[in-house]
Amino acid sequence: MTGRTRAPRSTYRCSECGHQAAQWVGRCPSCQAWGSLEATAAAAAPARPRVVAAGAPSSPARRIGDVGLDVARARSTGVSELDRVLGGGIVPGAVVLLAGEPGVGKSTLLLEVAAKATGRVLYVTGEESAGQVRLRAERTGAVHDELYLAAESDLGAIVAHIDELRPDLLVVDSIQTMSTADVDGSPGGVTQTRAVTVALTGLAKDRGLPVVLVGHVTKDGGIAGPRVLEHLVDVVLSFEGDKHSTLRMVRGVKNRFGPADEVGCFELRDSGIVGLPDPSGLFLARFGGPPVPGTAVTVVMDGRRPLPAELQALVTGKDIPSPRRAVSGLDNARVAMLLAVLEKRAGVRLHDAEVYAATVGGMRVTEPAADLAMALAIASARSDVALPADVVVLGELGLAGEVRRVTGLDRRLAEAARLGFTHALVPPDPGPGPPGMKVTEVHDLASVARMFR
CA distance 142 to 339: 50
Q: Which residues contact 292 (CB under 8 A, 6 or more apart)?
A: 286, 386
CA angle 430, 434, 438 (to 5 degrees): 70
Three-state DSSP at 449 gives helix
Max CA distance (Å), the chain: 97
CA angle 148, 201, 266 (to 5 degrees): 60
Residues making up the binding site: 100-107
Q: What distances in angstroms separate CA 210 from CA 60, 192, 196, one per listed residue? A: 24, 21, 16
Q: Which residues contact 446 (CB under 8 A, 6 or more apart)?
A: 345, 346, 347, 401
CA distance 245 to 361: 7
For 212-235, what is the HEC assignment?
EEEECECCCCCECCCCHHHHHCCE
Residue 33: CB atoms within 10 A of its CB come to: 16
Residues making up the binding site for ATP: 100-107
Residue 411: CB atoms within 10 A of its CB come to: 14
CA distance 294 to 416: 20
CA distance 381 to 375: 10
Q: At what angle do helices 106-116 and 130-140 cross, to 10 degrees?
A: 70
CA distance 255 to 429: 35
CA distance 148 to 111: 11
CA distance 105 to 103: 5
Whether 229 and 194 have beta carbons less than 8 Å apart is answered as: yes
Three-state DSSP at 135 gives helix
Omega of the bond leading into 238 within 30 degrees of 0 (cis): no
